[in-house]
A and B are shown apart, each in its own frame.
Chain A
Amino acid sequence: MSQLTHEIREAARGLLRDGKAQVVIGFEPGSLPLRSRPCFIRKEKDIERLVWSGFCETNVARYLPKRKGKVAIVAKGCDSRALVELIKENQITRDQLVIIGVPCEGMIDRRRIEAEMGHELIVEAEEKEGSLVVRTADSEKILDRKEYLFEHCKACTHPTPVVYDVLLGQPPGPQEAIDAFSDVDAFSALDREERWAYLVQETSKCIRCYACRNACPMCYCPECFVDATQPQWVGKSTGLSDTIIFHLVRAFHLAGRCVACGACEQACPMGVDIRKLNRKLQKDVIDLFHHEAGCSLDEVAPLATFRLDDPEPFMVEP
Chain B
Amino acid sequence: MINQYEKTDEKTYNEQMDAFMARIERGEKIEADDWMPDDYRQQLIKLISMHGVSEIMGALPEKEWVPKAPSLRRKLAIMAKVQDEMGHGQLLIRVAEDLMAPLGKTREDLLDDLFTGRLKFHNVFHMEAPTWADAGVIGWLVDGAAIITQTMSLDTSYAPYARALYRICAEEKFHAQHGESIVLTLAEGTPEQRDMLQDAVNRWWPALLMFFGPPEDGAISSNQQRNMQYKIRTQTNEELRQAFFNKYVPRIFHLGLTLPDKTIRFDEAEGKWHYQQPDWEEFKQIVKGNGPCSKQRLQLRTMSYKETQWVRDALLGNQREVV
- The reply to whether chain A is a binding partner of chain B is no
Interface of A toward B, CB cutoff 8 Å: none
Interface of B toward A, CB cutoff 8 Å: none
